[in-house]
Amino acid sequence: MTEPKKLFIKTYGCQMNVYDSERMAEALAGSGEGQGYVTTDRPDDADMILLNTCHIREKAAEKVYSELGRFKGLKAARPDLKIGVAGCVAQAEGEEIMRRQPLVDLVVGPQSYHRLPELEAKARGGEKALDTDFPEEDKFEKLKSRPKAPRGPTAFLTVQEGCDKFCAFCVVPYTRGAEVSRPADRILAEARDLVERGVREITLLGQNVNAYHGAGPGGDMTLAKLIWALDKIDGLERIRFTTSHPNDMTDDLIAAHGECEKLMPYLHLPVQAGSDRILKRMNRSHTAESYLRLVERIRAARPDILMSGDFIVGFPEETEEDFQATLDLVERVRYGYAYSFKYSPRPGTPAAERPQVDPAEADERLQRLQALITRDQRAIQDEMVGREVSVLFEKPGRLDGQMVGKSEYLHAVHVQDANARIGEIARVRIVSSGANSLAGERV
Ligand code: SAH
Ligand code: SF4
Ligand code: F3S
């Protein structure tokens, strides 16, 4: 028997890429005609290196080229090594990648991953292989994983992909294409399979996950209906979803946060800015006030829900006054987590053509925003001390007999308990709050 080939995948960007990397590894694991790859976590050992890339900000995209440059030595030493680029940079820059970096053998966009075995064979044969189409066939159906090995207690499950919102700063509608929802029966079958393999918590993924509208038994479903269908799966204990757009937070989804016990009290709801003038220029189609009213309604349904968000500072034409409105909104919402980014002009998006904010000014605003976010994040984490939470154990901690897991609010919690098992959900009283995690004792 010949040794199986080894595949090294490095994943950048959002959770959707994490999910896609798993699917790509499965596609290349081979079903007969393929060579059959096993994954490795050492690039210097690999027969194929795949970078699953992100195009959301310039820094993210440039990282790919510097990473590729580092493989030069490896490729020179082992001419059989194949190097591939997948993900959103592959979609956005396609052939340009092969021109800029001749050591790349294969380029594949997010909609073509089911064609990976053919592309791999082509690359093995010494040809350059490129596929950045938006094909008609159902990639998820073709990528369907074969029943196999047990898994950890948490998993991602993509239910919706692409986006039709065209925020003026964002590349996603171009790299991931139009919004498409998967049929509910396929998602439920995948969820059941995950649960049989040991998964206790599923995070439903989509660039616009709450716009989900896949075909169901009685016509198109909503995300809330899908959550209720998942709720019935025995053994599945926790449901999360990300990322949501404020305009798609429907009444049934808000109600589910109050009524569905498996739905965790955590909601990532990006707002991007607090100034209505800037929101309009961003093409966000909501205002600061409508967002705040929405948060109030969500909190009325589920008072303890932990809110998280995304912000862009230094968007074209943003003034100090606009920025103050963002700080005001953050003060009013009190986020448990928030991610803030300096605006990065992306080729082909409308905002890239507009007058830009002075980068030093934008840096300074970013620091002020991050300080405020960190203050709230820290305070909310500290307020957990003395409370009882439930923790899903995910892995052993650094200390002997220690377990680490996540609370329902997505805080990392360390528990000292030699008998704790991975995959177990325990009631834990929080005793202290550290820099990035909590510590607790089993009750
Ligand atoms: N679909 C999600 C997230 C998309 S990308 C949503 O609708 O919010 C994740 C985050 O990256 C965005 O929320 C935004 O805050 C940030 N982002 C997107 N494009 C950006 C750009 N050009 N510059 C800086 N940050 C950006
Ligand atoms: Fe990008 Fe999200 Fe806006 Fe869609 S809704 S364009 S993914 S920021
Ligand atoms: Fe990045 Fe593509 Fe995700 S651009 S954030 S990897 S959808």
Burial string for 341-379 (b: 16+ CB within 10 Å, else e) reads bbbbebeebbbbeeebbeeeebeebbeebbebbeebbee
pLDDT band of 134, cuts 50, 70, 90: confident
Asked whether the beta carbons of 305 and 267 are under 8 A apart, the reply is: yes
Nearest Cα residue to atom 18 of ligand 1: 170
| End-to-end Cα separation, the chain, in angstroms | 52
Nearest Cα residue to atom 7 of ligand 3: 172
Q: Is the CB of 54 under 6 A from ligand 3?
A: yes
Residues 411-433 have a mean pLDDT of: 96
Residue 14 Cα to ligand 3 middle (Å): 5
pLDDT band of 36, cuts 50, 70, 90: confident
Q: Is the CB of 228 under 6 A from ligand 1?
A: no
Share of the chain above pLDDT 70, in %: 97
pLDDT band of 1, cuts 50, 70, 90: low
Residue 191 Cα to ligand 3 middle (Å): 23
**pLDDT one-digit tens code per residue, 48-64:** 999 999 999 999 888 99
Return d(Cα 191, Cα 207) in angstroms, integer.
19
Return d(Cα 400, Cα 390) in angstroms, integer.
22
Find residue 21's DSSP bridge partners: none
**What pTM, to 2 d.p., does this model score?**
0.95
Q: Which ligand is nearest to the CA of 309?
A: 1
Compute the 3-state secondary structure of the chain and give helix, strand, coil in percent, each to the nearest 5.
40, 25, 40
**pLDDT one-digit tens code per residue, 237-261:** 999 999 999 999 999 999 999 999 9
Nearest Cα residue to atom 21 of ligand 1: 344
Lookup: tokens for 61: 């995209």
Q: What mean pLDDT is reported for the chain?
A: 94
pLDDT band of 34, cuts 50, 70, 90: very low
Res. 32: pLDDT tops 50: no
Res. 30: pLDDT tops 80: no
Of 217, 329, 252, 229, the C-alpha closest to 284 is: 329
Let me know if 126 is exposed, middle or buried by CB neighbors in 10 A (0-12, 13-18, 19+).
Answer: exposed
Return d(Cα 274, Cα 291) in angstroms, integer.
9
Nearest Cα residue to atom 5 of ligand 2: 165
- Phi and psi torsions of 351, nearest 5°: -70, -20
- The pLDDT value recorded for residue 61 is 86
Q: Is the CB of 170 under 6 A from ligand 1?
A: yes
Residue 56 Cα to ligand 1 middle (Å): 7
Residues 175-204 have a mean pLDDT of: 96
**pLDDT one-digit tens code per residue, 347-384:** 999 999 999 999 999 999 999 999 999 999 999 999 99
Residue 400 Cα to ligand 2 middle (Å): 43
**pLDDT one-digit tens code per residue, 142-153:** 777 665 677 899
Q: In a mutational test of the pocket of ligand 1, which residue from 170, 205, 271, 357 has the highest number of ligand atoms less than 8 Å from its CB?
A: 170
Give residues with Cβ within 8 angstroms of 168, minimum separation 6.
Answer: 281, 282, 283, 349, 350, 351
**pLDDT one-digit tens code per residue, 194-204:** 999 999 999 99
Asked whether the beta carbons of 305 and 257 are under 8 A apart, the reply is: yes
- Phi and psi torsions of 297, nearest 5°: -65, -40
- The pLDDT value recorded for residue 138 is 80
Q: In a mutational test of the pocket of ligand 1, which residue from 204, 271, 310 has the highest number of ligand atoms less than 8 Å from its CB?
A: 310
**pLDDT one-digit tens code per residue, 63-101:** 999 999 999 999 999 989 999 999 999 999 999 999 999
Nearest Cα residue to atom 13 of ligand 1: 310
The bridge status of strand 388-396 relative to strand 402-407 is antiparallel
Asked whether the beta carbons of 38 and 25 are under 8 A apart, the reply is: no
Res. 139: pLDDT tops 70: yes
Nearest Cα residue to atom 6 of ligand 3: 54
